[in-house]
A and B are shown apart, each in its own frame.
Chain A
Amino acid sequence: QKEVEQNSGPLSVPEGAIASLNCTYSDRGSQSFFWYRQYSGKSPELIMFIYSNGDKEDGRFTAQLNKASQYVSLLIRDSQPSDSATYLCAVILNFGNEKLTFGTGTRLTIIP
């Protein structure tokens, strides 16, 4: 089992709709969870991080963490064509250890 798993997509969502991206992780001891956005040919950029169970909102983005079920999700409200990118889920196992383990990413396409 991979440490961090994502559906590779592509995921197509109409403009203005909610895009839902999911990620599961295998190590129950994982402490910190991140969502990165990566445009084609560019480096990843951090868009959300979450440490505690529940929801965390930042603008159009909401990260959701459920440690009991070992999944983390990212919701993008009012999807825009500029949101079309690959979204990478990443996990840090131990707080204090900055080593990120990444999923393979989900390619999201917003259809105008």
Chain B
Amino acid sequence: DVKVTQSSRYLVKRTGEKVFLECVQDMDHENMFWYRQDPGLGLRLIYFSYDVKMKEKGDIPEGYSVSREKKERFSLILESASTNQTSMYLCASSHETGSGNTIYFGEGSWLTVV
């Protein structure tokens, strides 16, 4: 089975702190994604990566950065956390099949910024 693991499930951080959210997949997927999910707004794409060291902005990249140094790992970085970044963050990965039917999600990371 595909496994997408988000190491931190629940975090509480202070405003201004630097926050790292880590995601690891074990299926040698080329593509990795970070979404956030908020009530009434659905899932919104923050960043995605098609290959090691490659990254592209999604729909809401402001306030975030990412790192993909190894194929299996995709990190989301909040350089200076703010209260409006309180959300549930979902990592996903997929093969480069072009079909979209191999996209798998991690369990989610709930971040509260106080």
Q: What 7 A-B pairs are tightest by C-beta distance, nearest first?
A: A96-B98, A104-B42, A43-B105, A102-B43, A32-B100, A92-B100, A49-B101
Residue count of chain B within 8 Å CB distance of chain A: 26
Question: Is residue A63 within 8 Å, beta carbon to beta carbon, of the partner chain?
Answer: no
Which residue from A32, A44, A88 sits with its C-beta under 8 Å from B99? A32
CB contact under 8 A between A98 and B31, given known A34-B100, A34-B101, A43-B107:
yes
Q: Which residues of A contact B59 (CB under 8 A)?
A: 101
Q: Is the CB of A103 within 8 A of B96?
A: no
Q: Could you tell me the distance between the alpha carbons of A14 and B59 in the complex, rounded to whole angstroms?
A: 38
> Nearest chain B CB to A108's CB is how many angstroms away?
15
Which residues of A69-112 are within 8 A (CB) of B? 88, 90, 92, 95-105
Across the interface, do B58 and A99 meet the contact criterion of CB distance under 8 Å? yes
Q: Is A17 an interface residue (CB 8 A)?
A: no
- Minimum C-beta distance from B107 to chain A (A): 5
Among the interface residues B90, B98, B104, which one has the most CB atoms of the partner chain A within 10 A?
Answer: B98
Inter-chain CA distance A34–B41, complex, in Å, is 18
B113 within 8 A of A: no
A interface residues, tally (CB under 8 Å): 24
B104 / chain A contacts, CB cutoff of 8 Å: 46
Q: Which residue of A lies closest to B96 (CB)?
A: A98
B58's nearest neighbour on chain A, judged by CB, is A99
Are the CB atoms of A100 and B108 closer together than 8 Å? no
Interface string of B41-61 (1 = CB under 8 A from A): 111110010000000001100
- Known pairs A43-B90, A44-B43, A88-B42; A100 contacts B107 (CB<8 A): no
In the assembled complex, which residues on chain A have CB atoms less than 8 Å from the CB atom of B100? 32, 34, 49, 92, 98, 100
A46→B93 CA distance, assembly (Å): 13
A93 to chain B, nearest CB (A): 10
